[in-house]
Structure 1
């Protein structure tokens, strides 16, 4: 069971003629929460569960180099595995799968190190008739 999205991951091959890496194909990788459950019912009315949660997300990108400016996505993955026995008709809750992160990006001019807001600033004067 997957709760998430398919993220396109480029696969590269090296072109010896041009001496560069080129995208040879695009593979869709599911990212988000992936949950594998293997149930086994025994005669005593208990259910043995093999539970394997996996949480993945795009962490950042790494420049591949060259003139194309191609970047390779890095996928962060956390996995766990557990075997649990519960009685039939009981409920099992799984927690701790989600991670909260805050990111902040600042865009600046490469030469001056000032914010782009200052570079494209313009003033308007309203005209009243």
Structure 2
């Protein structure tokens, strides 16, 4: 990776954390919640979401093994990772929207999903 690509990735991460922190400040929430993106398990959530999250994790691990077995480039590994992050963020945001609408936590999950798409497109441009 060249220095320009590293700087671009750092700027994307900084933009995500900055936007998420601004949204949390507006709602008077703790900024430290910005660093916990995925894997939010809500009490009394439906079994469907637990099964969906577990299935996505199994697909992610299978994708890692596929990349390793076929000797694909590290860019393909990044594509698998950001695809997983996108789908897990979407599932978490729908779950939060259904079960905890009043806290509006799903807005942060959609922000995470959109930034994982930005990362995905950035990596895809390099392949």
**Structures share a fold, TM > 0.5?**
no
User: Computing the radius of gyration over CA atoms, which structure comes out larger, 1 or 2?
Assistant: 1
So what's the TM-score if we normalise by structure 1? 0.23
Indicate the structure whose relative CO is greater, using CA pairs within 8 Å and at least 6 residues apart: 2
**By percentage of residues, which structure has more strand?**
1
So what's the TM-score if we normalise by structure 2? 0.23
**By percentage of residues, which structure has more helix?**
2
